[in-house]
Structure 1
Amino acid sequence: MPVDRSYIRVKAMLVAPHPDGTSHLVSVNEPTDENPQGYHRVIGGSVELGETFEEAIIREVDEELGARVHDLTHLGVVENIFRYNGELGHEIVALYSGSVDPVPSDDDGTLTESDGAVMPVVWRPFDDSEVDVPLYPAAASTWIRGPARPS
């Protein structure tokens, strides 16, 4: 079922660092008109009516990865205005950091979307200057390179 992009969506997303501190978990998404190589997206999803940002992240990570979230820390809120196959989209994203347990495989991790689609997940380096695939939400990059990155 296509996503209705006719309104601003509220999302909660998790920057989940790898235990070695060099990378964070992202989903690998199919090519679009705007991104012919595909794109990476921070883990998370829509906030449901009556649900807090924290509850949304915990639910999304459980549904998509079958994992629990630990040490959940609020980073900030970003606005994401984008085009997806030519269609305008707009999201307000509450961004958090935290670890996931169990940790997805370095080689063949996956997540399952609400529609049943299975998508690969990979560990994207915090220093992603050499990565050609864009990261969304793009405004999260400042947080990912700064406060979300483990010391």
Structure 2
Amino acid sequence: MQKRIIRPIVICIFSNQDSILVAEGFDSMKGDYFYRPIGGGIEFGESSTDALIREITEEINQEIKNLSYLGAVENIFTFNGDNGHEIVMVYDAAFIDQSLYHIESFEGIEDGGEKIKLFWKPLNDFTERRLRLVPEGLITLIQNKMI
């Protein structure tokens, strides 16, 4: 993680009935699991929608449709002892391949080649704080979308 840089990123909410698709993360310094929708960094000169399409292709080799902008969240956090600051563009979209909605979990690949595990998790696990969704404030955007 680069220090003293505000990083623009884009993430996507994929909904499946009462669940959303999230990657599981672990902060070894805090001993804490967390969940985040998939996406990644926006490169210089790249629009957030182009970055989202690229990241989904890179991470899980899938195509998406029906992109809809939900809003932005500022995320100031500590992960594995390092401070981070992100501006997170949040979208809603759908997978073209409908079979993904029938798989409980599957793997993807992060930029560095690290495997990530993706799960469909019930939204109420996050609203009732049984699981932690990041970035903070994301749950409000999701709930506003579902109203």
Q: Same fold (TM over 0.5)?
A: yes
What corresponds to 1:92 in structure 2? 87
Name the CA shift for 1:146/1:85 in 2 (closer, same or farther; >3 Å): same
Structure 1 range deviating more: 73-82 or 122-131 = 122-131
Deviations 1:24-62 (A, max 9, x none): 10101123323x231111110100111000001100011
Q: Secondary structure at the match of 2:32?
A: coil
Supply the distance in 2 between the matched residues of 1:22 and 1:107 (Cα, whole angstroms).
Answer: 13
Q: Secondary structure at the match of 1:79?
A: strand
Structure 1 range deviating more: 54-63 or 107-116 = 107-116
Q: Secondary structure at the match of 1:33?
A: coil
Q: Is the 8 A contact 2:72 2:88 kept in 1?
A: yes
* Runs of 4 or more above 6 Å deviation: none
Count of paired positions:
144
Q: Is the 8 A contact 1:33 1:85 kept in 2?
A: yes
Supply the distance in 1 between the matched residues of 2:140 and 2:124 (Cα, whole angstroms).
Answer: 11
Tell me the C-alpha RMSD between the 2 structures: 1.7
Name the CA shift for 1:140/1:8 in 2 (closer, same or farther; >3 Å): same
Supply the distance in 1 between the matched residues of 2:72 and 2:130 (Cα, whole angstroms).
Answer: 25
- Please, which of 97, 107, 118 is the counterpart of residue 110 of structure 1? 107
Greater helix share, 1 or 2? 2
- Please, which of 66, 70, 91 is the counterpart of residue 61 of structure 2? 66
What corresponds to 2:50 in structure 1? 55
Give the TM-score normalised by structure 1. 0.87
Q: Which amino acid aligns with 1:29?
A: G
Give the TM-score normalised by structure 2. 0.89
Supply the distance in 2 between the matched residues of 1:29 and 1:105 (Cα, whole angstroms).
Answer: 22
Q: Which amino acid aligns with 2:65?
A: H
Name the CA shift for 1:38/1:105 in 2 (closer, same or farther; >3 Å): farther
Supply the distance in 2 between the matched residues of 1:117 and 1:29 (Cα, whole angstroms).
Answer: 12
1:27 is aligned to 2:41 = no
Supply the distance in 2 between the matched residues of 1:16 and 1:29 (Cα, whole angstroms).
Answer: 18
Supply the distance in 1 between the matched residues of 2:27 and 2:4 (Cα, whole angstroms).
Answer: 22
Q: Secondary structure at the match of 1:144?
A: helix
Q: Is the 8 A contact 1:42 1:137 kept in 2?
A: no
What corresponds to 2:75 in structure 1? 80
